[in-house]
Amino acid sequence: MAWWGKLIGGAFGFMLGGPLGALIGAALGHNLDRGVAGFAGGAVLGAGETERVQTAFFTTIFSVMGHMAKADGRVTHEELNIARSLMSHMQLSEEQRKAAMNLFGEGKKAGFPLDEVLDQFKQECRGRRNLVQMFLEMLISTALADGVIHTAERDLLQYISEKLGFSRAVFEQLLSLIQAQQQYAGSTASGKTLAETLNEAYAVLGVSESADDAEVKKAYRRLMNEHHPDKLVSKGLPEEMMKLATEKTQEIKQAYEQIKKARAN
């Protein structure tokens, strides 16, 4: 991986300063906190800039995950296992997994600078809303991985959402969609019939059964555009997380195809 290889190799020309630089530096054992003055503006990401955003995403997601796990005052073995399971699912290398766990540990520490971390992450993403939304969706999915979202987790997620520029209404919509997607994935995996999961398919697209064909198609296209793996990677999503985006688009497509088939009969 280009961005990870450069980090390991010590080529920090695209590296971050500020709180994210300090976090990745701590995770890798380097002193990289050189301020945010090196932030590169511009509307188009070049190769080094893409790697910079990938590093920001990787650093922020795992450190904030650790902070979120501590939201209720303590980190359980189940929460640690969820984090490890995600890293395994992403097929991180041993070095990447170690860095991710170190970042998770940094997030658990007292005094973790959440506001500063989120501010810099948002700045590094430079208005790429779909990329920031994918970050938020990953956090919500992690919180829901044990089947329930606790009050402290929900409050923190809502705060993070608003800090990143999403309204409370959008946060609630994303939460409902991800809950529906996880339920749908679980139902299809359990062998339920298509008829039994049809209501869930509508929920995955965020539309009601009374929606006309045009509304259903519009919702489908919007969700596919928001989660298109290649588009997200080109905007700075680490390649290791492409599998998560691909799985999400597959679930969305499966739900849409099920609805189309049901309406054709």
The secondary structure of 147-187, three-state, reads: CCCCHHHHHHHHHHHHHCCCCHHHHHHHHHHHHHHHHHHHH
Structural domain for 119, as ranges: 1-126
pLDDT at 194 over 90: no
Question: pLDDT band for position 32 (50/70/90)?
Answer: very low
pLDDT at 234 over 70: yes
Q: Within this chain, do residues 179 and 112 fall inside the same structural domain, yes or no?
A: no
Q: Within this chain, do residues 90 and 3 fall inside the same structural domain, yes or no?
A: yes
- Choose the final residue of a domain: 61, 94, 126: 126
Q: Within this chain, do residues 87 and 184 fall inside the same structural domain, yes or no?
A: no
pLDDT at 9 over 90: no
Count of the separate structural domains present in the chain: 2
Q: Within this chain, do residues 25 and 108 fall inside the same structural domain, yes or no?
A: yes
156 found inside a domain = no
132 found inside a domain = no
pLDDT at position 48? 64
Question: pLDDT band for position 66 (50/70/90)?
Answer: very high
pTM summary value: 0.81
pLDDT at position 259? 94
pLDDT at 175 over 70: yes
Q: Which residue has the higher pLDDT, 258 or 44?
A: 258
Q: Within this chain, do residues 112 and 191 fall inside the same structural domain, yes or no?
A: no
Distance CA 256, CA 250 (A): 10
pLDDT at position 31? 47
Q: Within this chain, do residues 183 and 252 fall inside the same structural domain, yes or no?
A: yes
Q: Within this chain, do residues 114 and 22 fall inside the same structural domain, yes or no?
A: yes
End-to-end CA distance of the chain: 47
- Choose the final residue of a domain: 109, 126, 143: 126
- Choose the final residue of a domain: 126, 144, 179: 126
157 found inside a domain = no
Q: Within this chain, do residues 3 and 81 fall inside the same structural domain, yes or no?
A: yes
pLDDT at 11 over 60: no
pLDDT at 34 over 50: no
Q: Within this chain, do residues 10 and 120 fall inside the same structural domain, yes or no?
A: yes
144 found inside a domain = no
Mean pLDDT value across residues 155-165: 96
pLDDT at position 4? 58
pLDDT at 243 over 50: yes
Give tens-digit pLDDT for 72-91: 777 777 778 878 888 887 87
Q: Within this chain, do residues 187 and 107 fall inside the same structural domain, yes or no?
A: no
Question: pLDDT band for position 46 (50/70/90)?
Answer: very low
Q: Within this chain, do residues 2 and 121 fall inside the same structural domain, yes or no?
A: yes
Q: Which residue has the higher pLDDT, 194 or 86?
A: 86
40 found inside a domain = yes
223 found inside a domain = yes
Mean pLDDT value across residues 184-203: 80
Which segments within the chain are labelled E, that is strand? none
pLDDT at position 5? 58
Mean pLDDT value across residues 186-193: 74
Q: Within this chain, do residues 121 and 173 fall inside the same structural domain, yes or no?
A: no
Residue 42: exposure state from Cβ atoms within 10 A (0-12, 13-18, ≥19): exposed
Phi-psi region of 121 (alpha: psi -120 to 50; beta: other; left: phi over 0): alpha
Question: In percent, how much of the chain has pLDDT > 70?
Answer: 86
pLDDT at position 7? 58
pLDDT at position 3? 56
100 found inside a domain = yes
131 found inside a domain = no
